[in-house]
């Protein structure tokens, strides 16, 4: 008996502000992926909304109850102000999202994880947070970073699908 399975398509929750978040939203929109851009900044949301991306305004530091994340959801944070991240990451870690990543250097990732540990999150949960993100180390150019992060996420999604069918 032949059994053929189909994985649901990837979905993206893109958090952040600025050129990096806009470039990533533009890339996934152009490739036809379901996505939403979430930010506390109305200007950042307006720019991607005009380009055709769905948006959701969030209050910094408050959980995002409206966000539905499943095992085919990738959530990526593109914030320069890392103070906004803890509440968002804490919420995302309660979801089954298969990928949770945050932009920043290795030093920023270490500070991020230390802060989350202080909030009481256990190491097994913190290991779910990818950082630095992307396949190109230290990429600072928004389009290159977007491609690098998307390649990393798609690669992990394909690998999970192959493992599930093996």
Q: Which domains does the chain carry?
A: 11-165 (3.40.50.720)
- SS in 3 state form for the chain? CCCCCCCCCCEEEEEECHHHHHHHHHHHHHCCCEEEEEECCHHHHHHHHHHCCCEEECCCCCCCCCCCCCCCEEEEEECCCHHHHHHHHHHHCCCCCCEEEECCCHHHHHHHHHHHHHCCCCHHHHCCEECCCCCCCCCCCHHHHHHHHHHHHHHHHHHHHHHHHC
The one-digit pLDDT tens for each residue of the chain (166 residues) are 666 666 778 999 999 999 999 999 999 999 999 999 999 999 999 999 999 999 999 886 565 777 889 999 999 999 988 888 999 999 999 999 999 999 999 999 999 999 999 999 999 999 999 999 999 978 889 999 999 999 999 999 998 877 766 5
């Amino acid at each position: 008996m032949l059994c053929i399975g189909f994985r649901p398509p990837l979905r993206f929750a893109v958090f952040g502000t600025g050129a990096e978040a806009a470039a990533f939203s533009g890339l996934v929109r152009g490739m036809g992926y379901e996505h939403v851009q979430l930010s506390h900044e109305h200007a950042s949301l307006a720019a991607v909304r005009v380009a055709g991306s769905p948006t959701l305004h969030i209050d910094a530091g408050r959980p995002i109850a409206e966000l539905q994340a499943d095992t085919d959801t990738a959530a990526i944070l593109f914030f320069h102000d890392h103070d906004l991240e803890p509440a968002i990451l804490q919420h995302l870690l309660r979801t089954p999202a298969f990928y949770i990543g945050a932009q920043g250097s290795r030093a920023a990732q270490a500070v991020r994880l230390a802060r989350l540990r202080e909030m009481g999150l256990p190491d097994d949960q913190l290991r779910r947070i990818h950082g630095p993100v992307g396949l190109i180390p230290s990429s600072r150019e928004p389009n290159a970073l977007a491609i690098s992060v998307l390649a990393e996420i798609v690669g992990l999604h394909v690998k999970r699908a192959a493992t599930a069918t093996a």
